[in-house]
Every structure is written in C-alpha cells, then in structure tokens.
C-alpha cells in the first residue's frame, strides 16, 4: 500500500500557498464544439453495449422498367443492421494521504476539502482519457477502411494531402466539418504553406499574417494525443505515423452511461490517520457508421482492443455515412 506522507510535500514555513494543483496539459476541451464532431452526452445504459437498429439502404430500389415484359419482378426485402457502442469501465484512485501531511502545510483537511482539492485534477484526467479513447477508436475504424483512408506514406502533411483526404468523401465532402490533428502535423502544414515555391506569395503571406495554416475552410482541433500516433519499426528504422481525422457531425460519440461514484474514507489502524478517495465511472464509446465487434472485441476492452480496426465493423452500406476520413503521414 502506497500512502502519501508529509515527506512527499514541499513545505513552506511562512510563504503564501495558493490552491493550485497540477493537471494534465493535453488540450481536451473539444467535446460538443465546432459543430459537434466529437460529442459528449449523459444517458443511462445497462450492460456492456448499446445497440441501435436501423433499416439498411436498398440498392437499386429505383430501376428501369421494361414496358415490353410481363415477367415476374424480383422482390427486394428490407434488411436491418445495428450500430453498437461499447462500454468502458474506469476507476479513480484510490488516493491515500495522511492527515499529518496536510497539517504540515497548514491546511485544515476534511473529506470535503480533500475531494475539492482533487476535483480539478480528476475532472481534467477524465476528459483527457475520454477524448483519447474516442480518437483511438475513430482512427482505428477509419484506417481500416480503404475508401476513407489516404496515405501520404513517409511525407509530412501538405495542403494537397488535406485535399486528397477530403476527396475520399466525394460529393459528401461538405459533411466533414473539422480536422483533428497532432500539433506536429499542424505546424508541418504551416511550414509547408509558408514556402512560396509550393503555395505562392499570397498563401504564404496569409499564413504568416494569421499565424495559422489554411485548412480548407474547416476548423482544426489540435491535441497532442498518443491515440493519433502509431509507432513502427525498431532501432534506426523506427518511425511514427501520425493520423489526421476529418470528422463529420456526431462522428465520435462518448456517453456517460453510469452514475459516477466517488467515496472519501478515513482510514484508521495505521501509524498515522489516513484519508482516502476512490471512485469509478463508465462511458459508452461509439463511432458513426460502425458497430463494435462484440465477439472479437469483447466487453470492457483494453486500449489495444479499442485501437484495433478489425474490432470496428462497418454497419452502413456507404462509406459516405462513416464518421469521416483519415489521413496518414509522418
């Protein structure tokens, strides 16, 4: 059992102490913004999966009629499929700290104050974890579908790369409402567009003036998520592939599907009195146009399973109804 003690704290004798805690630095406040490419909602869900049925589109439901024939027509039956999201179960803590440690930094620690101290840290961590899981699922599902996958191979991101990726949606390209990318790709694109040989003086000047690259009139969500990176090779041949997601409305959906439970407890019977915080929560994760493969992916999957493309099966007939497109680069 690892319990924080006074020796873990930096103790000032008389200086003013602010109520600031260190939180994760990854940008994560992107739920329900910019047209909702990544959605966070709250809805109770029983079990390990959420399933929603729908009628599949009938191919060739309208066709030529032969006015010279009286032969029997071939009936076309309606068929159904389902969209399946998977529930991910998560824990908070436990975090143990001695009362003595807080006494040494002149804090009157109560269970309520302890919860408040950790609240901002935990809230940010939950948000980052949910975003990373959603991006991991979206990247895996889309990369596994050639119809919406554009590979720049060993090249860095360029304007043409964005265009070719967007072109994967064909006449539905206007449904892509936002890009999601790592900051490396964002600045690679900016550096590319500053070069007049590739873009001309006008584009270069606009990019420099605005300190932002041109992104085909679509906003960019910049987040340094490891879910957008896939490492490969080894030794001197090691490399990292980066993935840019072009998402449609409601492309990635996270649903808080169980009530969060957070408990604080005073622990006795030890050399020092200890206060403990522990919690748990769960959320459902879905990718537009796909269903979680219940047999292969199983319940409460690991990050590796969520990031495996074959665990996300297409549920819709047209790739234009997917969550969007994905561009791979270095």
Residue 5, pLDDT above cutoff 50: yes
Per the CB < 8 A criterion, the answer to whether 110 and 320 are in contact is no
Q: How confident is the model at residue 59 (pLDDT cuts 50, 70, 90)?
A: confident
Residue 225: both structure tokens together: 């998520």
Q: Which two tokens stand for residue 304?
A: 């590796």
Confidence at residue 196, expressed as pLDDT on a 0 to 100 scale? 67
Q: What φ, ψ does residue 49 adopt, rounded to 5°? A: -140, 160
- pTM for the whole structure: 0.88
- Does residue 94 have a cis peptide bond before it, meaning omega lies within 30 degrees of 0? yes
pLDDT of residue 13: 37
Distance from the first to the final alpha carbon of the chain: 43
Amino acid 240: pLDDT: 97
Q: Range with the lowest mean pLDDT among 64-78, 230-244, 285-299?
A: 64-78
11: pLDDT strictly greater than 50: no
Angstrom distance (rounded) from CA 166 to CA 150: 9
Secondary structure (DSSP) of 181-224? E-HHHHHHHHHHHH-HHHHHHHHHHHHHHHTS---TT--EEE--
Minimum mean pLDDT range among 65-69, 118-122, 145-149, 248-252: 118-122
Q: Which sequence spans correspond to the domains of the chain?
A: 26-57+79-329
Is pLDDT at 187 greater than 80 in this prediction?
Answer: yes
Q: 287 with 248: CB under 8 angstroms? A: no
pLDDT at 23: 60
Q: Within 10 A of 19 (CB to CB), how many other CB atoms are there?
A: 9
The CA-based dihedral angle spanning residues 163, 175, 228, 278, taken in that order and rounded to the nearest 10 degrees: 170
Q: Which residue has the higher pLDDT, 184 or 23?
A: 184
199 vs 5: which has the higher pLDDT? 199
43 vs 8, higher pLDDT? 43
The per-residue pLDDT for 164 is 98
Mean pLDDT of 171-188: 98
- Whose CA is closest to 221, among 11, 73, 72, 31? 31
Query: Which of 31-35, 163-167, 194-198, 210-214 is least confident?
Result: 194-198
The pLDDT > 70 percentage for the chain reads 88
Predicted pLDDT at 83: 93
Specify which residues 82 forms β-bridges with. Answer: 53
The rounded mean pLDDT for the chain is: 89
Q: What percent of the chain has pLDDT over 90?
A: 66
């Amino acid at each position: 059992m690892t319990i924080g003690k006074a020796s873990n704290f930096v103790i000032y004798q008389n200086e003013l102490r602010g109520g600031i805690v260190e939180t994760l630095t990854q940008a994560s406040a992107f739920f329900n913004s910019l047209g909702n490419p990544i959605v966070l909602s709250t809805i109770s869900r029983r079990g390990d999966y959420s399933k929603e049925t729908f009628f599949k589109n009938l191919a060739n439901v309208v066709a030529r009629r032969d006015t010279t024939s009286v032969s029997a027509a071939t009936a076309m039956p309606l068929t159904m499929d389902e969209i399946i999201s998977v529930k991910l179960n998560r824990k908070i803590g436990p975090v143990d700290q001695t009362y003595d440690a807080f006494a040494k930094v002149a804090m009157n620690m109560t269970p309520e104050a302890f919860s408040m101290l950790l609240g901002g840290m935990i809230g940010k961590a939950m948000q980052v974890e949910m975003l990373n899981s959603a991006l991991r699922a979206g990247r895996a599902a889309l990369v596994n579908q050639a119809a919406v996958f554009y590979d720049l191979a060993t090249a860095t991101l360029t304007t043409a790369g964005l265009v070719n990726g967007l072109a994967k949606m064909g006449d539905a390209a206007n449904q892509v409402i936002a890009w999601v990318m790592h900051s490396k790709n964002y600045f690679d694109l900016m550096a590319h567009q500053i070069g007049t040989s590739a873009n001309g003086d006008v584009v270069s000047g606009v990019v420099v003036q605005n300190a932002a690259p041109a992104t085909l009139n679509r906003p960019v969500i910049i987040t340094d998520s490891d879910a957008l990176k896939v490492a490969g090779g080894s030794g001197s041949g090691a490399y990292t592939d980066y993935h840019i997601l072009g998402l449609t409305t409601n492309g990635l959906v996270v649903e808080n599907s169980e009530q969060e439970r957070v408990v604080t407890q005073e622990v006795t019977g030890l050399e020092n009195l200890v206060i403990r915080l522990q919690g748990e929560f769960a959320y459902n994760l879905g990718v537009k146009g796909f269903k979680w493969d219940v047999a292969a992916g199983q319940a409460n999957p690991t990050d590796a399973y969520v990031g495996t493309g074959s665990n996300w099966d297409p549920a819709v007939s047209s790739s234009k109804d997917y969550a969007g497109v994905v561009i791979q680069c270095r």
